[in-house]
Structure 1
Amino acid sequence: MRKQILATGFVVFSFMLPLKATAASFTGIYTFGDSLSDPGNVFNTTSGNIPTAPYSEGRFSNGPIWVEELADSLGLNPTLVTTPGTNSQEGINFAYGGATTGQDNTISQIPGFPFPPLPGLEQQIQTFIQTLPKEDPNTLPQADAKALYILWAGANDYLPTQSTFTPFQTPTKPIQNISTAVTSLFDVGARNIMVLNLPDLGNNPLVLGLNQQFPGLSFQLNALTEAHNTQLAQTLDVLSESLTGINLISVDVNSLFDEALAGKLGFTKPSTPCLADPECVIDQTGNLQKQFLFWDRIHPTTTAHKLIGELAFKTLEDNQKSIPEPDAEFGLLALAALGTGSLLKRQLAKASTVRGMRDE
């Protein structure tokens, strides 16, 4: 009986110990989204035609983008889904420029697009799940629970476009799509899921320019962004409560861009795209390009991307700090275990005394 009680106590005690992964302990990064997170998938799919120079090596920017910055900070080197290789063990980037939160892609839906269809967020998730190993045909495949999964999409759901896609006027469907994406990843075993909100879409050079032709467009898109971000935060809170064991990490890109537009982050030209300034385009030192927040009318410069990557990494660190340290709780649990052990010892002694009295 003594062994049974002590064994039971040990098992309970073991399960009480919390698990904690540091930001540097992720085994890989799996990214899903649009051009803000695409280092070359559209470029590869279109045989190097989109985007072309002076865009940097297939990116929708003038240099490395934020997911590359984050991966570097984590000591990981994931591969592109369009160029699978040895680094796929450290993660895969499934993001494609033009992706919406659903099945649509605003690049491949431009009339006359001569290349294979590009996926939206929904197809990206499906492609990922199809790559997972499946031991039992009657069960879902299993993703790496120790990897980091990133979702950043939504801008293409709302922005004006030259494609046949009709932008949403409310965030209901995009938020539903993001919620479905999170749940789909969770269902196959993903546990650490990072979701980024949107910067104010009415403040980018594209919309500011269109606002002169269509007064009120900038205000409308900023209001839509606010509604999107509010509903996104609420939805993530609900998912955090309903999906047991999930670790949702929310990154507030909106506030970062607010600071940049307010001149607090060193961008002297936060509303003018670098590509609109010939001197900026041919800047060999990069010093002039660093003063611009936007590379083109929608996409940030690599300097801005670096700040996003740093914010994402800091958010990861803060997220890990909010999870109790095993060592910190070990002392408390040990005391509790000792207390339980003392109680068990007294109960066993009492039982022995009773048996002794009966024997007499």
Structure 2
Amino acid sequence: MKIKLLLLTLICLISSVAQATTPKSIIVFGDSFTDSGNLYYLSGEPSENPWFTNGRIGDGPNWADYLAEYYKHVPPMKASSYGGTNYAIGGADSSFGPGVWGLGSTGLQVTQYLSETTAIRGEGHILYTYWVGGNDILAMQELSGTINNISIQLQMLIDAGAKHFLIGNMIPIGLTPDGLAGGGGFNPYGISSAELNSLSASYNEALMELLNEIKCNHPSVYFYIQDNHQLLLDVLSDPLSYGFENITEPVTWYGGDPEVSLWWDGVHATSKYQALIAERSFNVIRHHKGGLRCMFADE
């Protein structure tokens, strides 16, 4: 009897993991790095704004678009404003209000999703992606408040039946063009590069502590970490191996070639770099099938 129960538990575990590695739907929450057209829609679909390309902030598809292409059963990524499953919007912070820039928040995104899609929440084969925090840092929001917001939003999704999450950590924002400049553009408070990097590192540490706590409380929930912090460090340390000839001058500032450039503007990356985010995300889900493991404080 015990053997049968063990086998049944193992089968259920394998089935749950398989649902994450072969999703049929991807639900997306985040900010401008992930937005597939919501900001463009709310901006009145400007036809002559060089900042947008097909509604994306950049020169082409972003990482969420590319990630969807890896899975044959997942439809092409589309913004929620156009009836899709990408709720991310440029300028979003982690709050439940209009956000630091008045453009929205992940709290509103999660709330909107849960109000619209009661029929599919508890089904398997759904991957939820969640990446936020950059605008909180650039607006000098309290870290404790940001982490509390994230905790509430993830718990809302878990309570609704979500089990498989791809969670993005923060790039070292101080290494972006606006970060290195120490002000201007998307860094209106003039935060130094060193401080931005420190804030990014503190955010990542607090985020991992939160995810560990949630994992320990919800063993059946899977967290896969999208290590955006390490990816940027890897590219900056050896740009040519990733196909980047220009890692300092944003395309929209100097008119460079986005096919060999890292930065689109002061903080946003080109589509070429976004494809790398998707590739690493796909590999994390595919190769680390167990996701984040619960680590107790005394381990």
Which TM-score bucket, shorter chain as reference?
0.7 to 0.9
CA distance in 2, matches of 1:42, 1:58: 8
Q: Does 1:167 align with 2:140?
A: yes
Amino acid at match of 2:88: A
* TM-score normalised by structure 2 residue count: 0.85
CA distance in 1, matches of 2:27, 2:145: 24
Partner SS for 1:195: strand
1:11: how far off?
Answer: 5.5
1:151: how far off?
Answer: 0.3
CA distance in 2, matches of 1:40, 1:200: 25
Match 2:118 to one of 130, 133, 136 = 133
Answer whether contact 1:158 1:167 (CA < 8 A) is retained: yes
CA distance in 1, matches of 2:216, 2:178: 38
Match 1:248 to one of 193, 203, 223 = 223
Amino acid at match of 1:209: A
Answer whether contact 2:19 2:126 (CA < 8 A) is retained: no
Match 2:49 to one of 49, 52, 62 = 52
Q: Does 1:83 align with 2:75?
A: no
Match 2:155 to one of 142, 158, 183 = 183
Q: Which runs of 5+ in 2 are unaligned?
A: 293-299
Match of 1:95 in 2: 88
Answer whether contact 2:250 2:261 (CA < 8 A) is retained: yes
Instruction: Give CA-to-partner distance per residue, 1:49-101, whole Å, 9 cap, x none.
Output: 399225311111101100011000112124321111xxx5xxx1110100001
Answer whether contact 1:22 1:320 (CA < 8 A) is retained: no
1:23: how far off?
Answer: 5.4
Match of 2:134 in 1: 155
Partner SS for 2:225: strand
Percent of residue pairs bearing the same amino acid type: 23
Answer whether contact 2:19 2:124 (CA < 8 A) is retained: no
Answer whether contact 1:35 1:97 (CA < 8 A) is retained: yes
Amino acid at match of 1:274: V
Answer whether contact 2:224 2:291 (CA < 8 A) is retained: no
Instruction: Give CA-to-partner distance per residue, 1:138-167, whole Å, 9 cap, x none.
Output: xxx9433320000000000011xxxxxx53
CA distance in 2, matches of 1:29, 1:247: 15
1:244: how far off?
Answer: 2.9
Match of 1:14 in 2: 8
Match 1:266 to one of 243, 246, 250 = 243
Partner SS for 1:194: strand
Partner SS for 1:82: helix
1:210: how far off?
Answer: 3.0
Partner SS for 2:53: coil
Q: Does 1:145 align with 2:124?
A: yes
CA distance in 1, matches of 2:135, 2:191: 19
Number of equivalenced pairs: 281
CA distance in 1, matches of 2:194, 2:47: 31
1:173: how far off?
Answer: 1.4
Q: Which has the larger radius of gyration?
A: 1
1:104: how far off?
Answer: 3.6
CA distance in 2, matches of 1:210, 1:9: 61
Match of 2:296 in 1: none
CA distance in 2, matches of 1:303, 1:40: 18
Match of 2:286 in 1: 317
More helix by share: 1
1:106: how far off?
Answer: 4.0
**Change in 2 beyond 3 A, CA 1:260/1:242:** same
CA distance in 1, matches of 2:140, 2:230: 24
Answer whether contact 1:51 1:58 (CA < 8 A) is retained: no
Answer whether contact 2:164 2:221 (CA < 8 A) is retained: yes
1:39: how far off?
Answer: 1.1
Amino acid at match of 1:71: A
Instruction: Give CA-to-partner distance per residue, 1:247-287, whole Å, 9 cap, x none.
Output: 11111110100112223433222122111113x2xxxxxxx
Answer whether contact 2:179 2:193 (CA < 8 A) is retained: yes
